[in-house]
Amino acid sequence: MRTLNDLPDLIGKRVILRCDLNVPLDGSLITDDGRIRASLPTIRYLIEQGSKVIIISHLGRPDGEVVEKYSLHPVAKRLSELLGQPVGFVNTTVGVEAESAVNQLNDGEVLVLENLRFNPGEASKDEGERETFAGQLAKLGDFLVSDGFGVVHRKQASVYELAKKLPSAAGILIDAELKVLKKLTENPEKPYLVVLGGSKVSDKLGVIDHLLPRVDALLIGGGMLFTFLAAQGSKVGSSLLEADQIETVKSYLSKANELGVEIYLPSDVLVAEKFAIDAKYETVPANQIESSSFGSNGIGLDIGPETARTFANLISNAKTVFWNGPMGVFEFPNFAGGTRAVAEALTQVSRLSVVGGGDSAAAVRQLGFADNQFGHISTGGGASLEFLEGKKLPGLEVLK
């Protein structure tokens, strides 16, 4: 893979830097700036080289339309504070306005363009549309540095097609992420556990098939646990459920059995009356979710205390652990217990512990853990998982 050392002298050059600045927001307030901080080394490097730095990123899923709450403007402001220098912002991504803002840059100055995903071409399924958008982006720069590790598993215009149109290389963050993830794929010290949770159920179910032969055990929490419970014949009330994945999950359970890999599912669950911060809740056995006083309206929002203890025990006795996806709706304090227990146990892991995913990283910081209590906090959730599966990631392949 080409890295910064493979690029020629960048002084005075217009360098487009693809970052992943997809931070969690509460209104215009950034609740975790981890991904901005993780982008700083490459930004600083390019400033020191005397480049004109043009930063592009996505934020959220505006689906090809301008959605004000997904503007990168607050991100540009935060970046300026962290860098200690002014950062320009232009509220378009391509076209004359963006071009003229780029033309006004002096060497060592930084400009952030508006959210890539305000343009339908960025994440289009149509290769031609992506090509066209990448062509418009390419006009803004002489080089591309690709450093948005969180998106390298997606074949999107700024990640894939653009990297073919300009001389391109990976930045410092991608390089650092890969060094750690390689330790997980090449000879992880055993026992090696993978802990999965979060809300992107169908995305994450797919990785299980590939991970099973590589790990000693899988621990399942978060939104996907209900599809597993349903596969075992339990009713799950109004919890998150991917009914069309039940058969697939059954096949994972039997494959795990054949391979001798344990899949640990919760024994108890916190069931809430509704999806709300102040919702009433009860602890019930995982196979009797509808036994709570909320009946079939009950929603499972966290793993229960018994499960949290079991998971913590397994994790703290492992040598290598990768964790992606909160165990519950940690944004609501009453349902953060499972996530806290897992995070705490991860700090005890003897060899290597990795936390991956935007929300997972935000969760551990929000719960008061320090970054250095873990082996590594990855900016990529889906990207890390696909790398661990052994898949080829388009955003990295294109840099080879």
Nearer to ligand ADP, 18 or 204 (CB): 204
189: DSSP letter: P
- CA dist 222 and 330 (Å) reads 10
- CA dist 124 and 268 (Å) reads 41
Q: Does 298 bind Mg ion (CB under 5 A)?
A: no
- CA dist 156 and 175 (Å) reads 20
* CB of residue 222 to Mg ion, shortest distance in Å: 11
Nearer to Mg ion, 23 or 341 (CB): 23
Nearer to ligand ADP, 7 or 308 (CB): 308
Q: Residues, the chain, total?
A: 400
The sign of the dihedral angle between the CA atoms of 316, 391, 324, 218 is: negative
Which residues in the 334-393 window bind Mg ion by CB under 5 A? 358-359
The closest residue (CB) to ligand ADP is 357
* CB of residue 70 to ligand ADP, shortest distance in Å: 16
325 binds, among Mg ion, ligand ADP, none (CB under 5 to 8 A by kind): ligand ADP
How many C-alpha atoms does 320 have within 13 Å on its Cβ side?
16
Burial class for 106, CB neighbours closer than 10 Å (0-12, 13-18, 19+): exposed
- CA dist 177 and 174 (Å) reads 5
- Least Cα distance to 226 among 207, 259, 193, 204 occurs for 204
Distances (CA, A) of 108 to 53, 111, 138, 351: 7, 10, 20, 40
121 binds, among Mg ion, ligand ADP, none (CB under 5 to 8 A by kind): none
Phi, psi of 61 (to 5 degrees): -125, 70
Nearer to ligand ADP, 102 or 236 (CB): 236
Nearer to Mg ion, 177 or 359 (CB): 359
- CA dist 120 and 282 (Å) reads 44
Neighbours of 361 (CB within 10 A): 24
- CA dist 326 and 339 (Å) reads 6
Catalytic residues: 35, 200, 358, 382
* CB of residue 326 to ligand ADP, shortest distance in Å: 5
* CB of residue 247 to ligand ADP, shortest distance in Å: 21
Q: Which residue has the tokens 């109004």?
A: 238
88 binds, among Mg ion, ligand ADP, none (CB under 5 to 8 A by kind): none
272 binds, among ligand ADP, Mg ion, none (CB under 5 to 8 A by kind): none
* CB of residue 149 to ligand ADP, shortest distance in Å: 13
Nearer to ligand ADP, 301 or 314 (CB): 301
- Positions in the binding site for ligand ADP (CB under 6 A): 197-200, 222-223, 240, 300-301, 324-326, 328-329, 331, 357-360, 381
331 binds, among ligand ADP, Mg ion, none (CB under 5 to 8 A by kind): ligand ADP
300 binds, among ligand ADP, Mg ion, none (CB under 5 to 8 A by kind): ligand ADP
* CB of residue 12 to ligand ADP, shortest distance in Å: 38
Judge contact between 352 and 188, C-beta under 8 A: yes
- Least Cα distance to 153 among 396, 360, 324, 400 occurs for 396
Question: Strand pairing partners for 316?
Answer: none
Contact positions vs Mg ion (CB under 5 A)? 358-359
